Chains A and B, each alone.
Chain A
Amino acid sequence: MSTFVARNGIGESQRRLEDFRFLTGHGQYIDDINLENQTYAMVLRSPEAHADIKSIDVSEAQALDGVLLIVTGEDWKAAGYDPIPTKSGVRKFKDGSDLKEPPHHPIAIDRVRYVGQPVALVVAESLDICRDALELIDVDYDSLPAVSHQSAAIKDGAPQIWDIAPNNICLDFELGDEEAQKKAFEAADHVITLELVNNRVTAAPIEPRGALADYDAATGKYTLWNSSQNIHANRDTMADTVLKIGKDNLHHIAPDVGGGFGAKNGVYQEPILILHATKQLGRPVKWINDRAESFLSDTHGRDQVSKVQLALDNDGTFRGLRTETVGNLGAFCGTVGPFTPTGGSSRTQGGPFRFDGIYYTAIAPFTNTCPLDPYRGAGRPEGSYQMDRIIDYAAAKLGMDPIELRRKNLIPESALPMKSPMGLDIDCGNFPEVFERTLQLSDREGYAKRKEATETKGLKRGFGVCMYLECTGGGPKEEATVKFRDDGKVDLSVGSSSTGMGHETVFAQLLAGHLGLPIEDISFHQADTDATSLGGGHGGSRGLEVGGSAVTQTSREIIEVGKKIAAHRFDVDADRVAFEDGRFHVPDTNHTMTIRDAIDAQNDPENLPDDLEPGCMNVSSVFERGVISIPNGGHACEVEVDADTGSIKVDGYWVVDDFGTIVNKMLADGQVMGGIAQGIGQALLENIVYDESGQLVTGSLMDYALPRADDIPNMVIGYYEDAPTQKNLLGVKGAGEAGCVGAPPAVVNAVCDALKEFGVHHIDMPLTPERVWRAIQDAKSNN
């Protein structure tokens, strides 16, 4: 039976087309792909945070039966490859000078700068032989002093990681109007200051990274299957910039990818190393990270320390906001690493609130730690944490009501569209309405009763809110290509890439809805450089905004061609032909033909007007986003805190999001819930810890706590759908990251509310039981 989806494909919770293969064990992830004559690679990773490599002796390993190739920094140097460049959108210091970009080679040359940095690649006939060989490689290190924390790295006398970066500073940054901010501070009755830590976390997709490379000597072409979120741009970097093999000679494919959350966006070292190895060996080379290596080598996220200052009047009116951030970059510039603490965290400063002046400044230093790169939200979670924490902190310090403070200062609908003080183009939305709906959804009336029930158990209950303002990002262009096959199926290729978000369903849903075709007929292709000429990958909540718009634009172009075919058949002008529910018709006549008729007709020139060629309904179209959209919303959270132990249970969670048009509510809910779970994880559990010498302390799931089923509450999700944006063809605003933008401040605010009777007004994330309990003890002894 064929399923036809609603008109335009919008508004239906279409169940997922990809689920059948995932649910039956037939997904194809990177480690499920094997080629004939395949070899296996493993990486020797540095145990030193900072050291000179005096020598590497691979002779014993090389002599081991079954070892095929060992690559070290010396080999890399000899091969003359270029380093991996950063694509950070912010590239200039405040004074106009260039950011300091040290050479990032995929393998350490002469010196290591973080624990886990690749030092050698071993390729062998089996993984067990690789493991044996790794143990036989003898590296002589000369240890150097190391620094792992960003605040320590910028101090005088700190170990210097790169000669080109004095005081380890890669980049500094400012945005906003410092004069206006200072004036606002002078005019205000109060200036409240709070120092915040946005803890370092790791994305930890359950599928570790991995890749399989195959070189065809006959054609000189490479194929790389890669558990990656960004196939096209990374192909260009790897092929054109680093290996200089020409991007047309690299066919880059992402198979099913088991989660990414940003950590699979960047260009990584290992795939480049195995591209080198496959050519050397003339055999396919497979490399799969294990979990311990993932902790060492997947780019980390967040890790910012900030001083936030809010200026406000006695009546609660916000005047000014100033944020000074130091954001850790790790040992190298990540693919877009330097952008996160600078541009990424700056744009949403001030949130959906009115200010006379906002000023943001950042310093981004190198440290002897794994490089940082985007993790779900990449800067906006930090911004929203700063904004919504300082509001609650100020409320507590000044005896004000945090809900009233927000209510009083939210930008009214009448002020939109507006340019935010940070330059964001806020076109539409209704922040006060979203806020009130969030409060309503969270059943404020029932709170007193719930609090009583909590206290009967001997626990404390708290309520917290956050009103976040988001912006989308990522590549502005996307291509959607439709090809009607002879067997009746429709190939839809889109350049974006899904790592679980459901593109296979929602893009098919859109195409089927636009064209009036059964969704089962659509065969979806993604993340393949041969399938689309360009692709923006995945990131910045851009999937629907850019990819969905590309599908819509392509659909519209197909319909226009179909109209010409119908007009030709009925001998009328094309502008008289209408299209509705999968049928072309000429109003006020009996002339009608289905889209399937038009598709069937397109290959015979007889059926076509002179200006159309056979195959004319096979359309490829590129949509380019002009301006990023502004998702926004309210999060509300209730927690129970055991003051005797400090343990926290999130006991209720409510959200109202303005994502503009909701195309598939089921998928949007899934994105929000998953984001909130990661936000709760960051707030309560997750923490990447390096000790002062640069050793990673949280190197496994035994030390790094990921949320489990009993850590996450049920969440109630609502949408404000009355403000679709005009910035894209669907009116959507981007849903993928919002959950983890709103959750951390909502959770921390709720905990601080629960503990206000003790005088606890701030605790740094993650709010581990010990930190909470100690905060209570400290507050008690101070009172």
Chain B
Amino acid sequence: MRDTAHGPLAPLLPGAAALAIATVYLIALLAVETQSLIIGLLMLAIVTVLGVSRTGLWASVSRSFSEREDALGLLSIVAAFAVVAFFHDHHFVLLLVVTILLYTIAALGLTIQFGYAGVMNFAGASFFGIGAYTAAVLNTQTAVPHLLVLPIGGLVAALIGSLLLLPVLRTRGHYAAVVTIAFALLFKTFLEVNDGLGGPQGLQVPGMNILGWSLNDNMTFGGFELSFYANYFAVSMVMSIGTFVLLRRLDRSWIGLNFDALRLDETAAGCFGIDIARWKIIAFTFGNFLIGAAGALFGMVGGFVAPNNYTFADSLILVSILLLGGIGNAWGVAVATIIVVVVPEKLQTIQEYRFLLYASLVIIVLLFRPEGLLPRPVRRYFAGWRP
């Protein structure tokens, strides 16, 4: 008996073609400097997405992304390297690429919490900041190897997050969200009045150094001069790949199922033996660890941390990435992060209005594609498995 959902794999071509077009488009968008051209390119993207999303083409692209993840994952890595190779000596563009990768990791952490387990976290930027501050303190005050600082940043974020567990577990839905909002506000105030952590001026973060290799030095390959951000790109890429693999395995296991069960109906989940508190704690801790680790690296990349970089507004941006991309879909999160990071940077004219842009973008998406750009597909435990 053939099983509909686990029939032959979807073709790779639509996904690969979409990826290639998106890569070329992204390179063009990043390379163009004239405002009118940038606006033209953005309009083109909007019109294309609106046009294609009504046809079967869009569905076949998302089918090939959900079923051919291994191949398309590899191709995405190649695409990212292509972008970096193209802009190999542009500091600014490479910094954007690194920012995209690290925000993606943070948004994936939030996906575990909010997308999978339904635990609201409106303090994402705070946990990101905890990671960055951890890096600032450890890199200046101690001799802890910098590669180790990344997981320590994650652990500190997870640990401080556990302070929130009691109020988060005792409340449901919106009330839990309010608890995290309060934490985000408290966190910023705490940093501002804490002289040990630099107060409102913040702290310098020494750059990363792996076994004597300083990542803040530009490298030359043959005649090629590489921006030092290419080094950070390599480290961020490894972290992103690890995070993607982790998320995929989580989602395709009984743990992912437990998260879904408690998100969709806590009472019913409890009646089938699922320990609600335990799984919420696991989701919250895993998520904060990822956000904190990404934040630690982000601190080292930027070289500087200050309370104003990790405000409630930044947490909202993380949440809007999820809404925009498709709650619970890792690919959607990556696409949405690119949009949210790149568009305001390229559209210099709207700098002060960027929150207005995010807000309208989220509203438009919620109106026309309530499940986000790439809705989450039904769980498949093993790609291509059939009974």
Q: Judge: A and B partners, yes or no.
A: no
Which B residues have a C-beta under 8 Å from some C-beta of A?
none
